Amino acid sequence: MFVYKNSTEEIMTDFKNWCGDLPLLFIDNNYTLNYLKDLDNLKEPVFKYLSMQYNDDVIDEMIVKYNLQPSNHIVDLLYEALIYENSKGSN
């Protein structure tokens, strides 16, 4: 459910409550790390699970690697790529 928030602090408070102490997969760049700096959760770079490294073109590379439809919804693309990787390991 999408709900507008009035501030970054409100977003982060709600996110902390939602995720509890679960580990977080994140895009390994300074912006994201800075945004999540106040969370004590275990943080792991998402691209390590895709055998990729973060760079300026990593999303385009991921789209090609997993034959995904291009999209501005990066979280959806990451989710699809992670599902593909997980299904490869279970075969």
Q: What is the pLDDT of residue 3?
A: 82
Claim: this prediction has a pTM higher than 0.75: yes
* Averaged pLDDT for residues 38-57: 95
Whether residue 39 has pLDDT greater than 90: yes
Q: What is the pLDDT of residue 36?
A: 92
Q: What is the pLDDT of residue 1?
A: 66
Q: What is the pLDDT of residue 56?
A: 93
Domain ranges of the chain: 8-89
* DSSP letter string, the chain: -----S-HHHHHHHHHHHHTT--EEE--SHHHHHHTTT--S-EEEGGGGGT----TTHHHHHHHHTTPPP-S-HHHHHHHHHHHHHHHHT-
